[in-house]
Amino acid sequence: MDIKIKKNSHLFKVRTSGIIVKDNKILVEQYRDTSYFTLPGGYVEIGEDSSSAIIREIKEEVGVNFKIDRYLGIVENFFINANQEKTHGIDFYYLGTTEDEIPLENFDLIENDNGIIINHHFKWIELQKLTDYDIRPKCIIPYLRNEQNTSFHLVQRETD
């Protein structure tokens, strides 16, 4: 069961995201039917640690084995989601590599998540062009480019 708590019009969730870089490009996912991008990943389950969750999520979504190189940081993200819920998200970020071959062109994959079919649209974006895209949360972009060679704890408020 995912760590996701809903109360009235508020949602609290715990996620984990993987950062995969190849040939100075980073793998991102166009989030469902939106115009913005996120890093591959998903919910942490109750009783699961965030590092195990990202290994599981990358396998489920991208279809490859993910090897964690290092923990990068955490973002506390406050925003209004597509369902108009005030959302408080905690997201753990891990830099890693894939143990399997992964397409170096944009690609789509279909995931069956307990009977729910999810279409994943993946894109490789050049690191120096990250600001040309709507990547969320925006506060992590300097860390994705490795401009900050340190771990981070960031708070982003898109809403109050």
Q: What pLDDT score does 148 carry?
A: 63
pLDDT higher than 80, residue 114: no
pLDDT in tens, 17-48: 999 999 999 999 986 678 899 999 999 999 99
d(CA 34, CA 38): 11
Contact 13, 89 (CB under 8 A): yes
97-119: average pLDDT: 82
60-77: average pLDDT: 94
Confidence of residue 113 (pLDDT cuts 50, 70, 90): confident
User: Could you give the percent of the chain with pLDDT greater than 90?
Assistant: 69
Confidence of residue 156 (pLDDT cuts 50, 70, 90): very high
127-139: average pLDDT: 94
| Domain map (residue ranges) of the chain | 4-20+39-106+135-157
Assigned CATH topology for domain 4-20+39-106+135-157: Nucleoside Triphosphate Pyrophosphohydrolase (3.90.79)
Rounded to 5°, the CA angle 89-95-97 comes to: 130
Q: What pLDDT score does 119 carry?
A: 82
